[in-house]
Amino acid sequence: MNEEQEGPPVFGSWRRIYWAVGLYLVAVIVLFSVFTRVFNR
Amino acid sequence: MRPLDWVVLAVSLAGIVLYGLWRGRGSDTTQKYLLAGKTMPWYAMALSIMATQASAITFISTTGQSYVDGMRFVQFYFGLPLAMIIIAAYVAPRFHASGVYTAYEYLERRFDARTRALVSVIFLIQRGLAVGVALSAPALVLTVIMGWPSEVTTLLMGLTVIGYTVSGGIAAVTWTDFVQMLVMTLGLVAALVTALWLSPVDLGGALQVAGAAGRLNPAVWTFDLNDRYNVWSGVIGGMFLALAYFGCDQSQVQRYLTGKSIAQAKLSLLFNAVAKIPMQFFILFIGAMVFVFFTFTKPPVVFDPGVQAKAEQTAGYEAVEREFNVAWNARRAAAEALPGTEAEFKAAQKAMDVARAKAATLAGHEGLNDTNYIFLSFVTRYMPVGVVGLIMAAIFAAAMSTISAEINSLATVSVIDVYRRHLRKEADDRHYLRASRWATGFWGMYAVVTAQYATNLGSLIEAVNMLGSLFYGGLLGVFGLAFFYPKVTGRGAFYGVLLGEAAIFATRFGTEITFLWFNVIGCLVVIVAGVMISALERRGTAAAE
């Protein structure tokens, strides 16, 4: 296989992994916002 | 430090150095010495990338920052996952496929030798300034704990790192980073568990106290260009800074150039995209828990022992200490009565801060800044035997991983982009291997010398990030031109970088805009100027024809 086209070990394609990482970031920011709202006075 | 702590520290450090020497054996060609023969698996590169970024400053200063300012610093890393996606998708494959030793070598292939030389010099200046700061932080630890002169401590630390880095090159650096990251993780877990265990309140109570003090603020949505840490500056400014650091800074690029394939390099970057924010959250949370601990155990008025000792010698200190004690007792009483006493807690906190500032003024220090001493003060005074040694080992591991990567990359750029390109173009591989070893030793000693001047820069982590932000915008802009603007010429890129740097310095010294935005401004100026100059050049050429 062409080295450039070597796929990732999970999610099937690099594009899907990038989307997963982007969604993860959104989830982290939402989680931190909730954390701040609940605990910070 | 008690005997068991010394044993833990000595065994950890000796183990790391010996492991590095063992892993680095066989680095007998320039390619093996500088790129590990392109054999590295993703997990070694991933932890090496992480360990290189997590310096001793991360332990010492970040925890202290959380103590005084809360957890909002974590937002600085919000842009990192986005940057990693861009680098994994567009940058790493091109570097990898082009077979370069340095990121700046790629610029000559795309533009010209002049642009490569300019950017290499910018890197050498910027990274050369930062390496002293990275070494001075652990030296600060030893000076505080053992009272050794900082000259001795920087020399000891520096020589240890120089030893395995000169000997084994990047293979030694990467594999020691791997172990150092494991030691750091152990140290972090030990620090958090101990901080919680020593506090008289449970986790729920600790969250209530830290929250009342405004320390649990990992997401702040207020948009303000002059505010360093909020979601907007974190996502946008942080992304530009991370793009520049991981995509254009040789100390990081060299990590993933050693990968055995592009896929392995991508995986190492994406691991960091996911792991970095939780790690920083964890470190900042430790600082918040140290704050909780000192809510119920009286802290020193000033954490910096030198400033504290000077203040104690003055006539007005007793009155200031009384003021501090009254405020601390009021804060503790308010903490014990939470919830419902948040206003009293905050008022007492303000009174403590006023007393602390007065003590610093008595000692001749206008503007108290003892952030770097808070975590150390907690570790050395209250941590149980054995754990102190482990945390010290973690701090040293963090320092060594950063310094080794920095001197390794400085040496690589010095030899590949300057020496081999401009000074000695035709020599055999053994000559360049020898030159690389000498350059590594030189940059190591340079770090030791400059570290002497770096201890008075205030909060060290901000100093390093601020330094980086003066130059990263220019670097990022020129790589942006290289990757995404195929019509831009060498002349456009060269003058674009110069104009971008001018814009950054004008912003730094002429406005109040905070440093996280410098990268955005610098990068955009480089790109706009580069595109316009190239267009004018093409028009001029077309008219001449």
Q: Which residues of B touch A24 (CB under 8 A)?
A: 81, 273-274
The residue from B369, B393, B416 where one domain ends is B369
With an 8 Å Cβ cutoff, are A3 and B211 in contact? Answer: no
Look at residue A34 and tell me if it is in a domain. yes
Q: Which of B230, B266, B289, B349 to mutate to test the interface with A (most CBs of A within 10 A)?
A: B266
Give the torsion through C-alpha atoms of B237, B239, B244, B246, to 10 deg. 140
User: By mean pLDDT, which of B4-18, B345-359, B459-473, B516-530 is the weakest?
Assistant: B459-473
With an 8 Å Cβ cutoff, are B88 and A3 in contact? Answer: no
For residue B456, is pLDDT > 60? no
With an 8 Å Cβ cutoff, are B273 and A21 in contact? Answer: yes
- In the DSSP assignment, the letter for residue B459 is S
The residue from B401, B419, B454 where one domain ends is B454
- In the DSSP assignment, the letter for residue B29 is S
For residue B464, is pLDDT > 70? no
The confidence band for B105, taking pLDDT boundaries of 50, 70 and 90, is very high
Residue B394 sits in the same domain as residue B365:
no
Q: What is the CA radius of gyration of chain B?
A: 24
CB atoms within 10 A of CB B221: 11
Mean pLDDT in residue range B437-465? 77
For residue A1, is pLDDT > 50? no
Look at residue A33 and tell me if it is in a domain. yes
For residue B442, is pLDDT > 60? yes
The confidence band for B301, taking pLDDT boundaries of 50, 70 and 90, is very high
For residue B454, is pLDDT > 50? yes
Size of interface A-B (CB pairs under 8 A): 74
The residue from B369, B396, B425 where one domain ends is B369
Look at residue A5 and tell me if it is in a domain. no
pLDDT digits 0-9 by tens, B337-374: 888 888 899 999 999 999 999 999 988 887 777 888 88
Q: Is the peptide bond before B299 cis (omega within 30 degrees of 0)?
A: no
Interface check for A12 against chain B (CB to CB < 8 A): the answer is: no
Domain that holds residue B228: 3-293+383-454
User: By mean pLDDT, which of B11-15, B68-72, B108-112, B516-520 is the weakest?
Assistant: B516-520
For residue B206, is pLDDT > 80? yes
Q: Which of B87, B94, B98, B216 to mutate to test the interface with A (most CBs of A within 10 A)?
A: B216
The confidence band for B35, taking pLDDT boundaries of 50, 70 and 90, is very high
CA dist B188 to B47, B60, B71, B379, B491, Å?
Answer: 15, 12, 16, 12, 48
Residue B206 sits in the same domain as residue B116:
yes
- Taking all residues of chain B, what is their mean pLDDT, rounded to a whole number? 89
User: By mean pLDDT, which of B22-36, B79-93, B122-136, B157-171 is the weakest?
Assistant: B122-136
Q: Which residues of A touch B211 (CB under 8 A)?
A: 39-41
Confidence at residue B141, expressed as pLDDT on a 0 to 100 scale: 64
Q: Which residues of B touch A39 (CB under 8 A)?
A: 207-208, 210-211, 216
For residue B146, is pLDDT > 70? no
Q: What does the block give as tokens for B116?
A: 């490569």
Look at residue B445 and tell me if it is in a domain. yes
- Helical axes B113-146 vs B150-198, angle rounded to 10°: 70
Q: What does the block give as tokens for B15?
A: 């183990």
In angstroms, rounded to a whole number, what is the distance separating the alpha carbons of residues B238 and B142?
A: 32
Nearest to B217 among A18, A25, A36 (CB): A36
For residue A3, is pLDDT > 90? no
Mean pLDDT in residue range A18-40? 94
CATH number at residue B66: 1.20.1730.10
Look at residue A35 and tell me if it is in a domain. yes
- In the DSSP assignment, the letter for residue B220 is -
Count of structural domains, chain B: 2
Largest CA distance in chain B: 84
For residue B516, is pLDDT > 50? yes
Mean pLDDT in residue range B379-401? 87
Domain that holds residue A34: 10-39
Closest residue in A to B271 (Cα) is A21
Which percentage of chain B shows pLDDT scores above 90? Answer: 53
φ, ψ (nearest 5 deg) of residue B151: -60, -40
pTM of the prediction?
0.89
Confidence at residue B436, expressed as pLDDT on a 0 to 100 scale: 96
Confidence at residue B143, expressed as pLDDT on a 0 to 100 scale: 76
Nearest to A29 among B97, B215, B219 (CB): B219
Count of structural domains, chain A: 1
Asked if B372 contacts B61 with a C-beta cutoff of 8 angstroms, the reply is yes
Q: What does the block give as tokens for B176?
A: 């020691």
Q: Which residues contact B60 (CB under 8 A, 6 or more apart)?
A: B137, B140, B141, B372, B375, B376, B395, B460
Q: Which of A6, A10, A23, A41 to mutate to test the interface with B (most CBs of B within 10 A)?
A: A41
Closest residue in B to A7 (Cα) is B263
Q: What does the block give as tokens for B261?
A: 């394939």
Mean pLDDT in residue range B94-106? 93
CA dist B415 to B182, B410, B494, Å?
Answer: 31, 9, 22
In angstroms, rounded to a whole number, what is the distance separating the alpha carbons of residues B407 and B405?
A: 6
Interface check for A1 against chain B (CB to CB < 8 A): the answer is: no
Q: Which residues contact B14 (CB under 8 A, 6 or more apart)?
A: none
Confidence at residue B460, expressed as pLDDT on a 0 to 100 scale: 58
pLDDT digits 0-9 by tens, B56-77: 777 788 899 899 889 999 999 9
Confidence at residue B145, expressed as pLDDT on a 0 to 100 scale: 63
With an 8 Å Cβ cutoff, are A6 and B231 in contact? Answer: no
The confidence band for B224, taking pLDDT boundaries of 50, 70 and 90, is confident
Mean pLDDT in residue range B188-193? 90
- Taking all residues of chain A, what is their mean pLDDT, rounded to a whole number? 87
With an 8 Å Cβ cutoff, are A3 and B263 in contact? Answer: yes
- Helical axes B250-257 vs B238-248, angle rounded to 10°: 60
Q: Where are the beta strands (DSSP E) in B394-515?
A: none
Mean pLDDT in residue range B223-247? 85
In angstroms, rounded to a whole number, what is the distance separating the alpha carbons of residues B458 and B373?
A: 11
Nearest to B216 among A17, A28, A40 (CB): A40
Residue B449 sits in the same domain as residue B322:
no
Confidence at residue B92, expressed as pLDDT on a 0 to 100 scale: 94
With an 8 Å Cβ cutoff, are A39 and B342 in contact? Answer: no
Residue B170 sits in the same domain as residue B224:
yes
Residue B365 sits in the same domain as residue B395:
no
With an 8 Å Cβ cutoff, are B263 and A29 in contact? Answer: no
For tokens 């190492």, the residue is B268
Q: B40: which strand partners?
A: B259
Interface check for A36 against chain B (CB to CB < 8 A): the answer is: yes
Residue B219 sits in the same domain as residue B186:
yes
Q: Which residues contact B38 (CB under 8 A, 6 or more apart)?
A: B31, B257, B258, B259, B260
In angstroms, rounded to a whole number, what is the distance separating the alpha carbons of residues B63 and B53?
A: 16
Residue B28 sits in the same domain as residue B117:
yes
